[in-house]
């Protein structure tokens, strides 16, 4: 299979003002252009913007795009190669890598996040998850479900499709959002993660490529790997919140890898909270048609709109069956409510039902009925929860500005977390030491592939305001403990 290549235009755009000195630099005099270029590319590699395994543009193309001499690009590539950031094979392009001494396998959370707290240690604020406690109406929801249960007790209770009232309600909500939907286009699942696994089992085969936005939901990366497929990252650009998805990169990656499937979170991406705009949604569906790719759109966070205007569902722009949507009640209402759904055409749902029978026999009726009650009262419940999230986000941002003013925060317009850039690539080390200071963290590489995002940290704002302020103080203390060792990336040097 052909090597995936990043274009010179894309690399030039992401490098930005690569010639400028870093803030706080102690260097005397300007850096040589090749060194500045090499350091700029290296930061893109560490931040997941130049994914591992991708080929850089040719020296001639990049020199033209940057308006520098070819010697400058050749020297920069050579320096990156010497330090282990490029791998060159005779007769093929140089591909992005990470030196062996900095590679961190982000597929699992560091053990030190989960252990090491003695019984006498101070209680930890757990920031490894982004989910709220149940709303006050949850008890009423299960009371109503219990009252409605007798209608189903005369059946065997194993319905792999989902109870009709819930499917009718979900279809109506899609229709109200601008996506006409019938109940027979809905399959109720055991949460969005379960729905994703069912779809991957049907849509992919071992060794096939699945495009993902990068960073993304870590359990989705694991689900892709578990079915034997390979995630192909297309970097997001949080610094351009109105145009964060690299659609040219998605088109190019789909063509170069022959990916038949993509998994994207355009509605408040987890962890960044970014929202894809209407023009991008229309172009994404066009790309899916052009490349004959099925895009799995995860709408688990769609109800967490904190700022701006709501967007039409991505599937509303589709002309055929190129977009499949998954949703969940877990983020909207409660993580303990394991109810999700898939919206797709009937032929795909038939295939999913055939696969599902080998895994489970349906979603619990009680949980479905409780979800139906919550959806009936969704306007009131969700507005209350959004107000809570706005207040908690504000408290988190205030605490970060006070305790860690040199950290860069890029709050999205929704979701449940902030994506924070650290001054140095110490995310994993920080997550390892944080439990000693009373806070549990999920390191940045957890949300990427092959070691990316060591300079980033996801901080949820789903806890109470007081807990968030305590957590940030604890994070600051943990970071201070690392400070003597938390230097920025060491300068590249010639050997």
Can you give the residue ranges of every domain in the chain? 8-96, 113-134+380-482, 136-379
Q: Taking 80 as the threshold, does the pLDDT of residue 2 lie above it?
A: no
Instruction: Read off the pLDDT band of 28 (50, 70, 90).
Output: very low
Task: Write down the pLDDT at residue 20.
Answer: 63
Tell me if domain 8-96 and domain 113-134+380-482 are identical in fold.
no
- Average pLDDT estimate for 222-245: 91
- Average pLDDT estimate for 142-164: 93
Pairing outcome for strands 294-298 and 261-264: parallel
| CATH code, residues 113-134+380-482 | 3.90.1150.10
- Average pLDDT estimate for 377-400: 97
- Average pLDDT estimate for 90-104: 68
Of residues 29 and 161, more confidence is placed in 161
What rounded mean pLDDT belongs to the chain?
87
Other Cβ atoms less than 10 A from the Cβ of 166: the count is: 25
Task: Write down the pLDDT at residue 119.
Answer: 37
Instruction: Read off the pLDDT band of 6 (50, 70, 90).
Output: confident
Backbone angles phi, psi at 211, to 5 degrees: -70, 140
Task: Write down the pLDDT at residue 18.
Answer: 79
Tokens (6 digits) for 367: 């949980």
What are 331-348's pLDDT values in tens digits? 999 999 999 999 999 999
- Average pLDDT estimate for 266-274: 96
- Average pLDDT estimate for 266-271: 96
Q: Taking 80 as the threshold, does the pLDDT of residue 485 lie above it?
A: no
Q: What percent of the chain has pLDDT over 70?
A: 89
Cβ–Cβ under 8 Å, residues 162 and 341: yes
Distance CA 110, CA 429 (A): 9
State the architecture of 8-96 in CATH terms: Orthogonal Bundle (1.10)
Task: Write down the pLDDT at residue 381.
Answer: 97
Task: Write down the pLDDT at residue 15.
Answer: 83
- Average pLDDT estimate for 371-383: 97
Indicate the DSSP class of residue 272. T
Q: Taking 50 as the threshold, does the pLDDT of residue 322 lie above it?
A: yes
Q: Taking 90 as the threshold, does the pLDDT of residue 280 lie above it?
A: yes
Instruction: Read off the pLDDT band of 4 (50, 70, 90).
Output: confident
Q: Taking 70 as the threshold, does the pLDDT of residue 114 lie above it?
A: no
Task: Write down the pLDDT at residue 123.
Answer: 55
3-state secondary structure 428-475: HHHHHHHHHHCEECCEHHHHCCCCCCCCEEEEECCCCHHHHHHHHHHH
Beta bridge partners of residue 234, listed in sequence order: 213
CATH class of 136-379: alpha beta
Between 33-47, 248-262, 383-397, the lowest mean confidence (pLDDT) is in 33-47
For residue 88, what are the contacts with CB-CB under 8 A and spacing of at least 6?
81, 94
Q: What share of the chain is helix, strand, coil (3-state, %, to 5)?
A: 45, 15, 45
- pTM of the predicted model, to two decimals? 0.81
Task: Write down the pLDDT at residue 263.
Answer: 98
């Amino acid at each position: 299979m052909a090597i995936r290549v990043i274009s010179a235009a894309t690399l030039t755009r992401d490098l930005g003002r690569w010639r400028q000195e870093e803030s706080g630099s102690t260097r005397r005099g300007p850096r040589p252009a090749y060194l500045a270029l090499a350091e700029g590319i290296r930061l893109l590699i560490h931040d997941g913007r130049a994914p591992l395994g991708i080929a850089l543009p040719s020296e001639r193309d990049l020199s033209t795009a940057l308006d520098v001499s070819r010697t400058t690009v050749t020297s920069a590539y050579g320096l990156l190669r010497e330090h282990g950031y490029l791998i060159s094979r005779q007769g093929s392009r140089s591909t992005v890598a990470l030196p062996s001494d900095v590679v961190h396998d982000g597929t699992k959370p560091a053990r030190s996040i989960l252990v090491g707290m003695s019984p006498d240690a101070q209680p930890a604020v757990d920031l490894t998850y982004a989910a709220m406690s149940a709303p006050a109406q949850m008890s009423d929801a299960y009371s109503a479900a219990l009252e409605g249960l007798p209608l189903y007790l005369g059946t065997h209770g194993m319905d792999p499709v989902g109870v009709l009232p819930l499917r009718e309600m979900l279809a109506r909500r899609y229709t109200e959002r601008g996506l006409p939907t019938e109940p027979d286009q809905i399959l109720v699942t055991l949460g969005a993660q379960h729905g994703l696994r069912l779809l991957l089992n049907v849509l992919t085969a071992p060794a096939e490529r699945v495009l993902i936005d990068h960073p993304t939901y870590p359990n989705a990366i694991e689900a892709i790997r578990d079915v034997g497929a390979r995630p192909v990252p297309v970097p997001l650009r949080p610094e351009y919140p109105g145009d964060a998805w690299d659609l040219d990169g998605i088109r190019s990656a789909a063509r170069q890898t022959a990916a038949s499937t993509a998994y994207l979170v355009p509605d408040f991406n987890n962890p960044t909270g970014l929202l894809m705009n209407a023009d991008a949604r229309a172009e994404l569906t066009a790309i899916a048609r052009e490349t004959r790719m099925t895009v799995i759109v995860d709408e688990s966070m769609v109800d967490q709109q904190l700022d701006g205007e709501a967007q039409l569902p991505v599937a509303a722009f589709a002309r055929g069956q190129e977009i499949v949507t998954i949703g969940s009640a877990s983020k909207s209402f409660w993580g303990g409510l394991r109810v999700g759904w898939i919206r797709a055409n009937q032929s795909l749902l038939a295939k999913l039902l055939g696969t599902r029978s080998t895994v489970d026999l349906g979603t619990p009726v009680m949980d479905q009925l409780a979800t139906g009650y919550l959806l009936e009262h969704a306007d009131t419940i969700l507005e209350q929860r959004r107000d809570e999230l706005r207040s908690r986000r504000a408290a988190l941002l205030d605490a970060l500005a006070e305790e860690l003013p040199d950290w860069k925060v890029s709050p999205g317009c929704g979701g449940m977390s902030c994506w924070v850039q650290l001054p140095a690539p110490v995310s994993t080390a920080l997550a390892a030491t944080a439990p000693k200071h009373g806070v549990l963290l999920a390191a940045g590489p957890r949300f990427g592939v092959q070691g990316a995002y060591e300079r980033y940290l996801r901080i949820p704002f789903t806890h109470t305001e007081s807990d968030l302020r305590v957590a940030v103080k604890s994070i600051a203390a943990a970071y201070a403990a690392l400070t003597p060792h938390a230097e920025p990336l060491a300068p590249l040097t010639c050997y």
